[in-house]
Amino acid sequence: MNRVVWSGLMVAILFLVGSGECPSGDCPPEDGLLKAGSWGGDHWRFEVGSDGTVFVETDCARGTSTSPVHVTGGSVDFTAEMVRTDEAVQYPDSDPVQFVASFEGTVCHDTLHFTETVDGSLEDPEALVTTDGLVVYGEPATLWTCDQ
């Protein structure tokens, strides 16, 4: 086997080994709460307080969890009362749109993979809208503003 093929094979094996499920010994944290501090990713920022509540910010909305976020067996499940932050563009003469978002996901080491589910959208109040996201503890968030 030539050196290039062997190197490519080793990279593929390392990728597959590294992408497996998180060992249960690494999750959940001892106190059962999501680790306090900043979690960031593309289009998402989570600020977890010492009491376990989470301030969630995305490109066009922000809100706070309705209760502390517990991690059980590496899984998280919480709701957040959110408010749209694009009022200047879509709601110049009215109150901001409030909604409840549900978050469900898994924590492995310092990475949280999650799905946000919202009942309804501005375009279709009957729609069920889901968005996948990822945040990493200690990483900065990359957010866009909606009034651009």
Whether the per-residue pLDDT at 119 is higher than 50: the answer is yes
Strand runs labelled E in 26-120? 37-41, 44-48, 54-58, 61-65, 71-72, 75-84, 98-108, 111-119
Instruction: Tell me the domain boundaries of the chain.
Output: 24-137
**pLDDT grade for 142, boundaries at 50, 70 and 90:** very high
Distance CA 124, CA 6 (A): 52
For 24-137, CATH gives: 2.40.128
Q: What is the pLDDT of residue 14?
A: 31
pTM for the full predicted model: 0.73
